[in-house]
Amino acid sequence: MSSKELMNSDEMARTLNRIVFQILENVKDAKEICLVGIRRGGAHLADRLGEIFKSEGYNNIQVGYLDITLYRDDLTTIAEYPLLQGTELDFDVRGRHIVLVDDVIYTGRTTRAAMDALIDLGRPKKISMAVLIDRGHRELPVQPDFIGKVIPTSNDEIIEVALKEQAGNNSVTIQKKI
Amino acid sequence: MSYKRKDLLGMIDLSKEEINYLLDTAQTFCEINERDVKKVPTLKGRTVINLFFEPSTRTRTSFEIAGKRLSADTVNFSASSSSTTKGETLIDTVQNMEAMSSDVFVVRHAYSGSVKFIAENTDVPVINAGDGLNEHPTQALLDLLTIRQNKGDIKGLEIAIVGDITHSRVARSDIWAMKKLGANVRLFGPPTMLPKHIAPFDCQICKTMEEAVEGADVVMMLRIQRERQGKLLLPSTREYARFFGLTNEKLNFAKKDAIVMHPGPINRGVELMTNIADCNRAVILPQVSNGVAVRMAALYLLGLSKKGGNNEDAS
């Protein structure tokens, strides 16, 4: 089974940098935004985006993490329960501009679940979405606002985003499903 | 790790890993109970039936709230106002409830083993909410969760359980679970209320309150289960309070940061003096709060019957 690298560590860093600048371009006041990462991959990426914001002089960007397991629409059909990791948001989402962060957007169902989970915590002023990889095949009408890289795929391929926080190295690879 | 059993009947059946998995899951539910909107959609469209063949306030309310916070429809059923008084057998009652397409049964019954009997005769997942003198697993889980939040690891802790051990299903579930997680458990109570055969429990049996409490990290007090005692087992309540009740002087023998627990309902002035029940070392109300999270975890892990094949993990 062959696996092909689509993005290495340097490219990933540059892409994340660009996403931060795109977000800055699009908001009037950076103070009003909060980053909310979708566990697990998105949580690490939200941390990294937060670091980049800091290095650009925006020190007070709040970062939170969302566990969307309880909001999934496929809980009855997945083979094994994922271990709940819990939602950690130390700030009030009401009236804020939330930027959801995830590693890959595919069917859009995770994003739907994340929006539901977020809205249960309060009424944000606005929700945007930033993803590292958009692989297409949406099953719901959702579209991210900030995209690192669009990768056309087929349904029998797997996009693997390795992050150094979890996997020890940074890369994006594509491979055929076994 | 995962929880693969159909039912949650007792701590004696569970492995250390299963107990820790239940506790980890419960911990994540604590956050939901502190939100403004205390509800997640996970069990939407599922029906949870609370079959209580024995009176209960705390446990029944706790299960009902837990179900509602997961968006399940919870229905309460109490024996006093049911067909059981008209002569229906236990299994017939259960099968009738099952015929209404229920997804989880939460069962309390005065007879030990009855909940297991029900679980064996239905395809619906069953959670034991207390069966006679036998077990009360969700109480043990909430006790462990409370201890873990206060003390970190359970392993190596000195835990004293004081009171009516023989008639307490809470004590039994706690002992099984605490031993599995590596705590040292000491028991103390009137000789008439200590189990005759102590070998299976593998606990230290103490002769005095001081011996039981000395150096303890956790002191758990139990209520006298009068409704389960066949005959009179103690001369007077006042005598019990004097020898077996927890006072400040006796608590001073425990570690300085020891916590005081009680499964409720407490009898003030009997096993627990009022100043102790209300002091900052008592974690009796946090136990109750954790109860909701533990029951949410149990309903979540048992309440979603898996239909269909393996869906891939969609991103």
Q: Do B309 and A77 touch (CB under 8 A)?
A: yes
Average pLDDT over residues B14-36: 94
Q: Which residues of B touch A71 (CB under 8 A)?
A: 40-42
* Residue B21: strand, helix, or coil: helix
For A69, phi and psi rounded to 5 degrees? -50, -45
Average pLDDT over residues B15-40: 93
Residues B174, B135: Cα–Cα separation, whole Å: 9
Per-domain boundaries in chain A: 10-20+31-71+88-156
| Shortest CA gap A74–chain B (Å) | 8
pLDDT tens-digit readout, B147-186: 999 999 999 999 999 999 999 999 999 999 999 999 999 9
pLDDT tens-digit readout, A15-51: 999 999 999 999 988 888 999 999 988 999 999 999 9
At B187 the pLDDT is: 96
Chain B nearest-CA residue for A42: B315
Percent of all residues in chain A with a pLDDT value above 70, rounded to a whole number: 98
Q: Which residues of B touch A121 (CB under 8 A)?
A: 35-37
Instruction: Please tell me which residue, B80 or B100, carries the higher pLDDT value.
Output: B100
Average pLDDT over residues A150-157: 93
Residue B287 has pLDDT above 60, yes or no: yes
Environment class of residue B76 by beta-carbon count within 10 Å: exposed (0-12), middle (13-18) or buried (19+)? Answer: middle
Selection from B15, B62, B14, B114 nearest residue B264 by Cα = B62
pLDDT tens-digit readout, A100-111: 999 999 999 999
Check if CATH label 3.30.413.10 holds for domain A10-20+31-71+88-156.
no
| Shortest CA gap B152–chain A (Å) | 18
Report the residue count for chain B. 315
| Average of per-residue pLDDT values in chain B | 91
| Shortest CA gap B75–chain A (Å) | 22
Angle between helices B284-303 and B137-151 (to 10 degrees): 120
Residue A13 has pLDDT above 90, yes or no: yes
CA–CA distance from B310 to each of A85, B260, B315 (Å)? 22, 46, 15
Using CB atoms, pick whichever of B3, B307, B315 lies closest to residue A106: B315
Return the amino acid letter for B313.
D
Using CB atoms, pick whichever of A87, A102, A120 lies closest to residue B37: A120
Selection from B125, B220, B120, B215 nearest residue B164 by Cα = B220
Using CB atoms, pick whichever of B2, B304, B315 lies closest to residue A75: B304
**Taking the CA of residue B196 as centre, how many other CA atoms within 13 Å lie in the half-sphere pointing to its CB?**
0
At B309 the pLDDT is: 35
- b/e map of B118-135 (b: 16 or more CB within 10 Å)? bbeebebbbbbbbbbbbb
Q: Which residues of A touch B314 (CB under 8 A)?
A: 74, 106-107, 109-110
Per-domain boundaries in chain B: 11-135+289-303, 137-284
Cβ-Cβ contacts under 8 Å for B25 (sequence gap 6 or more): A83, A84, B297, B300, B301
| Interface confidence (ipTM) of the complex | 0.79
Cβ-Cβ contacts under 8 Å for B212 (sequence gap 6 or more): B160, B162, B186, B187, B188, B206
Q: Are A145 and A173 in contact (CB under 8 A)?
A: no
Which helix H or strand E contains B129, and what residues bound it? strand B126-131
| Shortest CA gap A42–chain B (Å) | 11
Mutate to test the interface with A, among B20, B39, B315 (most CBs of A within 10 A): B315
**DSSP string for B80-100:** GGSGGGGT--HHHHHHHHHHT
Residue B1 has pLDDT above 80, yes or no: no
At B227 the pLDDT is: 78
pLDDT tens-digit readout, B236-261: 889 999 999 999 999 999 999 999 99
Residue B198 has pLDDT above 70, yes or no: yes
Residue A154 has pLDDT above 60, yes or no: yes
Q: By a Cβ cutoff of 8 Å, what residues of chain A touch chain B? A: 67, 70-71, 74-81, 83-88, 102-107, 109-110, 116-117, 120-122, 135, 159
pLDDT tens-digit readout, A84-129: 888 889 899 999 999 999 999 999 999 999 999 999 999 999 999 9
At B313 the pLDDT is: 41
β-bridge mates for residue A64, sequence order: A36
Q: Is B236 on the interface with A (CB under 8 A)?
A: no
Environment class of residue A73 by beta-carbon count within 10 Å: exposed (0-12), middle (13-18) or buried (19+)? Answer: middle
Q: Do B314 and A74 touch (CB under 8 A)?
A: yes
Residue B80 has pLDDT above 90, yes or no: no
CATH topology of domain B137-284: Rossmann fold (3.40.50)
Q: Do A71 and B24 touch (CB under 8 A)?
A: no
Residues of B annotated as catalytic (active site), given as ranges = 58-59, 86, 108, 136
Residue B106 has pLDDT above 60, yes or no: yes
Residue A138 has pLDDT above 70, yes or no: yes
Q: Which residues of B touch A70 (CB under 8 A)?
A: 40-42, 70, 300
Q: Which CATH class is domain B11-135+289-303?
A: alpha beta
